[in-house]
Structure 1
Amino acid sequence: MAIIQFYKSQPTDYVMLFKSGRLKKKGEGLSFFYYAPTSSIVVVPMGNQDQPFIFREHTRDFQELTVQGSLTYRITDPVAIAKAMNFSLNEQATAYRSDDPEKLANRIINRLQVLVRSYTQSLPLGEALEMKPATFSTIQKHLAESEYLKTLGINVLELSITAIKPNPETAGALQTRERERLLQEADDAIYLRRNASVEAERKIRENELQTEEAVEQKKRRIQEVKLEAVQQEQVKRQEMHNQQMLADIELAIKRKELVVQNQENERIEADALSYKFAKQLEPVKQLEPELVKALANMGMQPAQLMAKAFTDFANNADKIGNLNINRDAVEGIINGEVA
């Protein structure tokens, strides 16, 4: 084996070189020659570490379930963890001298399992299977605040839960229960849909009946309005007829009064004329009748005189024996030929 050796680390490794128990070099990604018999190399990985896990836990109702996921962490204080755990390489600088680096992941996972168990044992199976992301964040926060991890200088970056499953027997029972629930929900949905359809039909029928009722009420209202209009028209006509009758009665009364007044006026006028004629005839009464007749015959036409003569003949027919009248004389009088 060569006494002087060369070591080259990865960029994500923090390297510390001890010689005769004293620290000579430290840093990330170092490369150097060293004297193997008196030198010791400590390498702490600084990159992100992903550690998968599977936990079998029990719930509050004593049901078994499996929690599966992965934890991502990173060493932020290599000096502190190098003091607590052995990260030194073997003489050939090809592997670690102890299994402490491998135990680190197990120790972190064990503390994570303790936190997960505290949650699963406080919940029934149904709630444990439906743990929310907020619960996972709380578990991650409690793990990151662990004094043990802080002492080692470890930072928890992410906790991912990929599956929470019950055992096969419980899963079968849950599937059966869930299947029955889904079938019941399907039946309920069919029932609700049918009820909704019946309710919709009922509402449609009610709307139709309400529409028909509204139409009938409208028709009845229109008929009532028409009847009221006819009644008002009849009342108006009756009032007009009554007014016409009153006007006719008043007119008849006025006509009667006018006729009575006309009769009275005619009577008064007749009395006046009678009185006038009586006064005019008073001088004539004192005259002889023959003189009056002679005065009356004055100015008469021959035909009028002839008519007067025939009237006298008729009045004194019992006193006349024979009367001869010439035809030519009569025709001449009628034709106006006699002067």
Structure 2
Amino acid sequence: MADINRAMFLRHMRCAPNMYVEHTAKAKLVHSGLAQSFWFRPLTASVSEVPVDDQQLPLLFHARTLDFQDLTVQATVTYRIIDPHTAAGRIDFGIDPDEGIWRSRPLDQLAGLLTESAQQHALDLLSGTPLRQALADGVSPVRERIAVGLTGDRRLAETGLEIVDVRVVALRSEAEMERALQTPLREQVQQEADRATYERRAVAVERERAITENELQSQIELARREEQLVDQQGRNARKRSTEEVAAEKIRTEADAERQQLLAQTQAEATRLVGMAQAEVDAAALTPYRDLDQATVLGLALKELAANMPEIGTLNLTPDVLTQVLGRLAADRK
């Protein structure tokens, strides 16, 4: 929108830096270019204002795929007018000399032109593609097709337009169809999740089995070592018992030998004492060997009386005296 100032029968126009202005008076081009500022007479002047900055055109349209499914395409086309003089000659960009606004809607005309062309190229592509494939391929084929089609469109080039960028935001099918198409993928994802869960459980079970097996191996090894320990302790105990028995045997044999030696020594001593006593007795009895029995008996009685304890009273009966005297008489005979 240009700034218009009034002064009597004249008007002063000042436009923005991104606006191309053409001032024609009496079929002659008086002013043209960017960021123009000039006076003109509204009754004889014709002024056009063409924007040369980038314009964005959002697109939202429906397409039918090869399998007769509805598909919504959401895109954005960025364009600019590179030949404003040509564009002003093809489309009405004239402004009101009093208000400074367009008398028509030139940008809407350009938007309609671009929309129809972009839809045509997208429909040509999607009409030969099944819905599943279109959704699987994504937005890249559609974006490339629209960009190539708009760039090569002769009508746009003759209008002085240049396509700066084409972006396809989304391809959306109907909600029910999307859910139907998502079901296999969801099932597959769920299966993958279940498989991952099963694998995780299997790994956990395998690890638990390995741990249990290690514990059993440890217990077996411990039992084996304990068995070896018990066996060794038994051998040590048997060896200790054997050694103790051998030592006891040695001690017993030593005691027996010592006792035997002691007995022999005692016996030899006793024998020697006996022999000595016998010799003493023999020597003592030698004087009595030539005496008669009565004398010997008397001496024995004397010796007996000397060694006997004290006798207070001695009773001699006739029987005893008779036997004694008889034996004495017999000895004398």
What does 1:1-339 align with in structure 2 at a 5 Å threshold? 2-130=8-136, 131-133=138-140, 135-190=142-197
Distance 1:68 1:124 in 2: 18
Deviations 1:135-167 (A, max 9, x none): 523421221111011111111011111221111
TM-score with structure 1 length normalisation?
A: 0.55
Count of residues in Structure 1 that have an aligned counterpart in Structure 2: 207
Query: Partner letter of residue 27 of structure 1?
Result: G
Unaligned runs of 5+ in 2: 1-5, 211-333
Distance 2:176 2:141 in 1: 29
Q: CA deviation at 1:193?
A: 5.8
Is residue 121–residue 145 contact of structure 2 (8 Å, CA) maintained in 1?
Answer: no
Q: CA deviation at 1:127?
A: 2.1
Distance 2:66 2:80 in 1: 33
Please identify, of 55-64 and 71-80, the stretch whose mean Cα deviation from structure 2 is larger. 55-64
TM-score with structure 2 length normalisation?
A: 0.56
Is residue 41–residue 93 contact of structure 1 (8 Å, CA) maintained in 2?
Answer: no
Is residue 122–residue 145 contact of structure 2 (8 Å, CA) maintained in 1?
Answer: no
Distance 1:193 1:136 in 2: 43
Three-state SS of the structure 2 residue aligned to 1:37 is: coil
Q: Structure 1 residues 135, 100: closer, same or farther in 2, change over 3 A?
A: closer
Query: Partner letter of residue 170 of structure 1?
Result: M
RMSD of Structure 2 on Structure 1 (CA)? 2.8
Deviations 1:50-72 (A, max 9, x none): 11111111111111121112111
Q: CA deviation at 1:195?
A: 7.3
Q: CA deviation at 1:196?
A: 7.7
Is residue 25–residue 44 contact of structure 2 (8 Å, CA) maintained in 1?
Answer: yes
Distance 1:132 1:107 in 2: 22
Please identify, of 179-188 and 139-148, the stretch whose mean Cα deviation from structure 2 is larger. 179-188
Q: Structure 1 residues 166, 135: closer, same or farther in 2, change over 3 A?
A: closer
Query: Partner letter of residue 72 of structure 2?
Result: T
Three-state SS of the structure 1 residue aligned to 2:86 is: helix
Three-state SS of the structure 1 residue aligned to 2:129 is: coil
Query: Partner letter of residue 182 of structure 1?
Result: V
Three-state SS of the structure 2 residue aligned to 1:95 is: coil
Distance 1:124 1:134 in 2: 13
Is residue 75–residue 155 contact of structure 1 (8 Å, CA) maintained in 2?
Answer: yes
Deviations 1:20-72 (A, max 9, x none): 12211110110111011000101110000011111111111111121112111
Q: CA deviation at 1:198?
A: 9.1
Q: CA deviation at 1:101?
A: 3.0
Distance 1:167 1:118 in 2: 20
Unaligned runs of 5+ in 1: 205-339
Q: Structure 1 residues 172, 197: closer, same or farther in 2, change over 3 A?
A: same
